[in-house]
Amino acid sequence: MSANRLTADAAPAADGVEPRLLQRIKSEFLEMPGLRLTRPQARRLWGLDDRACAALLAALVDSQFLFQTRDGAFMRIEHAQARSPIRPAGTYPAVA
């Protein structure tokens, strides 16, 4: 992204997230496949305060555009890996 910082100066939507800002952040994730950011990294990259950053990331997770990894990073949902379900003991096929 350029040196321009994102600002949340337009009127926010009902959920407190400014739609143009949300779209701009979505564009960043679409333009850079595999982009993986923690909340502090996202704050620095987009020049946001913690509250605005948390609201934007939460909105993107709620809309299933992003997901949060076990270590707290955010990535596009398309990069999530399906895990095989854990089977209860005794339900695995017999090995010959």
Residue-range domains of the chain with CATH:
19-78 (1.10.10.10)
pTM of the model: 0.67
pLDDT tens-digit map of 7-23: 444 444 545 678 999 99
pLDDT tens-digit map of 17-76: 789 999 999 999 999 989 999 999 999 999 999 999 999 999 999 999 999 999 999 999
Question: What confidence score (pLDDT) does residue 8 get?
Answer: 45
Cα-Cα-Cα-Cα torsion 80, 24, 13, 57, nearest 10 degrees, comes to: 30
Inform me whether the pLDDT recorded for 86 exceeds 60. Answer: no
User: From its phi and psi, is residue 62 left (phi > 0), alpha (psi between -120 and 50) or beta?
Assistant: alpha
Question: What confidence score (pLDDT) does residue 52 get?
Answer: 92
pLDDT, greater one: 79 or 73:
73
53 with 40: CB under 8 angstroms?
no
Question: What confidence score (pLDDT) does residue 2 get?
Answer: 41
